[in-house]
Amino acid sequence: MKLKRILCALLCLCALAGLLSASAYAENPLGDIDFDGDIDYDDCRLLFDYVAGSGFLSYTQIDASDIDGDGSVTAADAAQLLHYVSGALSALPYVHRGRGRLAIMAYPDKTEYIEGEELDMTGFELQIVYANGDILPVDDYSYSGYSSTPGIKIIVVSYAGARVAFVVTVYPAAP
């Protein structure tokens, strides 16, 4: 009986600790790209490397890197972060939108094909929906998974490290 109480108390403490630590990391602070709790020159280095094409950022890091809030990570974001870290700016100029998720707003007009036809993405609409309700249309996505051989094809659409998918069907050509 005493052992059950001790185990129950330990389980409750573990659950409470998990909830507290999860809430501490629920939102990625804008500019804290390495998520160490400080916005510093290490974050600038990560952002400049990414913009220069010599570094990689996860989707979550990209979300924390969009300093000017225009939906893309560019040299302008890196420059603003550097100015903030060096003290030239007293605050970052943008209110963080929170984490975003990719959402398919409209599927392609054509989802059924005959063997040998190429995939047609006409009518396809992709957006990022942010936690604060902002919506950002995405045009520069990439996709994979299509082949013109018969079968059901899973088309994976990617943008900034995030992925969504939809299905198309390729039917055999008539003999």
Q: What Å distances lie between residue 146 and 101, 109, 111, 114, 157, CA to CA?
A: 23, 16, 11, 13, 11
Per-residue pLDDT, 97: 61
Residue 57 burial by CB count (10 A; 0-12/13-18/19+): exposed, middle or buried? buried
Q: What is the pLDDT of residues 151-160, one digit of tens each?
A: 999 999 988 7
What is the spatial distance between Cα 44 and Cα 163, in angstroms, rounded to a whole number? 27
All structural domains of the chain, each given as residue ranges with its CATH number in brackets, are: 27-86 (1.10.1330.10), 100-171 (2.60.40.3630)
To the nearest 10°, report the CA torsion of 14, 18, 20, 23: -170
Q: What is the pLDDT of residues 90-121, one digit of tens each?
A: 777 665 566 678 889 999 999 999 999 999 99
Q: What count of other Cβ atoms lies within 10 Å of the Cβ of residue 168?
A: 19
For the whole model, what pTM was predicted?
0.48
pLDDT band at 145 (very low <50, low <70, confident <90, very high): very high
How much helix, strand and coil, in percent to the nearest 5, is found in the chain?
30, 25, 45
**pLDDT > 80? residue 56:** yes
